[in-house]
Structure 1
């Protein structure tokens, strides 16, 4: 293993929950290198947890162990698992859909259910509300430090048996691309879609081309306007909207030095849809 442990949760940092997970991991092996992916996942938002793993995981060395704890079903019958990805990374998490984007876009080689008779913090068996500390931090640290092998996590599960969130594919039909707003670039308010660069380029586009962009959720139209396709934010004037290719090679929507999400009260997830149509000619009278 790499001795690298990367943790993401929806706990925030206002209390001792994350610190307790660190402590458990370091008691397994003080030489572990522990890093934070984020602890600001919106509460119970499994979709965003899944996406943030997808956003991050391939940039880490092989054999890095990730712990993801966004677990509204803690204490229920949902399984605790470790998934080995096609890129040789490991994800320790509840089986609640957290590995959905990884499974779809990167691939899962093998999944094992955590055997809590072996891989659980000693003397924690009467607690059912903090598996992040008692099961995931403990198991993840043991795996990352080489105290256990992947095969010792627990029994193997079918990769097809794990819980999956519904995913939609972006499509190009009749000169229009329809896609999904998968997640927000939280700090800057940009919208990250599921529209891949290669699909978008089937429009035969070049920088500076103009597009009509429509955004709706499950109940109403939220936004409709014209914007240009730029290489970066510098290709638009201050306060202007633009389309661009984001760091995951997907189409993003932004306002130059502004928050698109806040300006138009836009969120992300399966109910948030985007339509992009190329405008061939605009005439101003």
Structure 2
């Protein structure tokens, strides 16, 4: 039975790169079903590639094959790998940190290094700048169509030796009733902030829908925002233009402006240095 292939890149759609990947996959097996996760990852942004996989993979069937190509190290000695996840899916990608969130959230049960002697597009020459076409989607198509097995990808790599990015931890200061975490990523189109703080932490600290929380955002210890925001069940529970706290689609706490962009309004970005804290207050 053929498996699905799902593609993610930072290539965009303004040239022929993604189309070439489709063509390679279909030349391996014209009956493959190929889908796009996104091709709008910001150039070279490995963190966002990792997060978008985490946002998506659990909603696809077992045996789906994901190809993620955000590869600033293309042509270097970084490894090319295929991993089998704890959800019984496969991800084909450079070993550069793209698997960070998958390993943390769902687990990786086995990893293999792509052996290019056997798993490289024939007649692709000496080019080492387009592994997405010549190695990754070619290997994914052969795996998805059953031409090769997972074991045929290449030698096994210890899961513990995979390259991972640092993940920020959340912190709860029970005495002060403060929850601190990071702004992991933006809901790009709408400008909402997605934090790494699980909804369960709000439950454990007694935060209920309708409560007001003091929200503080800082970057490199420089305060950029501090205000009271209401925790609501849906956007309909707030007024137009009002800031709100909500539970996003990954069951984490988000910050938004109803029909506005919180990120643009307050010049908020994402990353290790972007900290956010919540303190429940009585009003």
| CA offsets 1:110-155 (integer angstroms, 9 cap, x no match) | 0000000000000114000000000001001111111110000000
Matches of 1:105 and 1:221 in 2, distance apart? 31
Instruction: In structure 1, list runs of 5 or more residues that go unmatched.
Output: none
Residue 277 (str. 1) matches residue 261 (str. 2): no
Residue 113 (str. 1) matches residue 101 (str. 2): no
Matches of 2:68 and 2:125 in 1, distance apart? 21
Instruction: In structure 2, list runs of 5 or more residues that go unmatched.
Output: none
Q: How does 1:92-107 map to 2 (within 5 A)?
A: 92-107=92-107
Matches of 1:214 and 1:28 in 2, distance apart? 52
SS of structure 2 residue aligned to 1:212:
strand
| CA offsets 1:169-210 (integer angstroms, 9 cap, x no match) | 111113100101111101111111100011121221221100
Matches of 1:269 and 1:23 in 2, distance apart? 35
For residue 230 of structure 1, the aligned residue among 217, 229, 232 is 232
SS of structure 2 residue aligned to 1:239:
coil
Conserved? CA contact 1:176–1:277, under 8 Å: yes
Equivalent residue for 1:195? 197
Q: How does 1:185-224 map to 2 (within 5 A)?
A: 185-218=187-220, 220-224=222-226
SS of structure 1 residue aligned to 2:44:
coil
What TM-score does the superposition give when structure 1 sets the normalisation length? 0.97
Equivalent residue for 2:171? 171
Conserved? CA contact 1:20–1:133, under 8 Å: yes
TM-aligned CA deviation for residue 91 of structure 1: 0.4
Matches of 1:108 and 1:225 in 2, distance apart? 40
Matches of 1:103 and 1:57 in 2, distance apart? 12
SS of structure 2 residue aligned to 1:165:
coil
Matches of 2:159 and 2:90 in 1, distance apart? 14
TM-aligned CA deviation for residue 219 of structure 1: 5.5
SS of structure 2 residue aligned to 1:78:
coil
Conserved? CA contact 1:5–1:35, under 8 Å: yes
Equivalent residue for 2:8? 8
Matches of 2:202 and 2:116 in 1, distance apart? 46
What TM-score does the superposition give when structure 2 sets the normalisation length? 0.98
Conserved? CA contact 1:2–1:62, under 8 Å: no
Question: 1:204 and 1:269, CA in 2 relative to 1: closer, same or farther beyond 3 A?
Answer: same
Matches of 1:269 and 1:64 in 2, distance apart? 29
Q: How does 1:8-157 map to 2 (within 5 A)?
A: 8-157=8-157
TM-aligned CA deviation for residue 2 of structure 1: 4.4
Conserved? CA contact 1:112–1:154, under 8 Å: yes
TM-aligned CA deviation for residue 216 of structure 1: 1.2
The total of aligned residue pairs comes to 281
SS of structure 2 residue aligned to 1:164:
coil
Conserved? CA contact 1:3–1:31, under 8 Å: no
Matches of 2:28 and 2:218 in 1, distance apart? 48
RMSD, matched Cα: 0.9
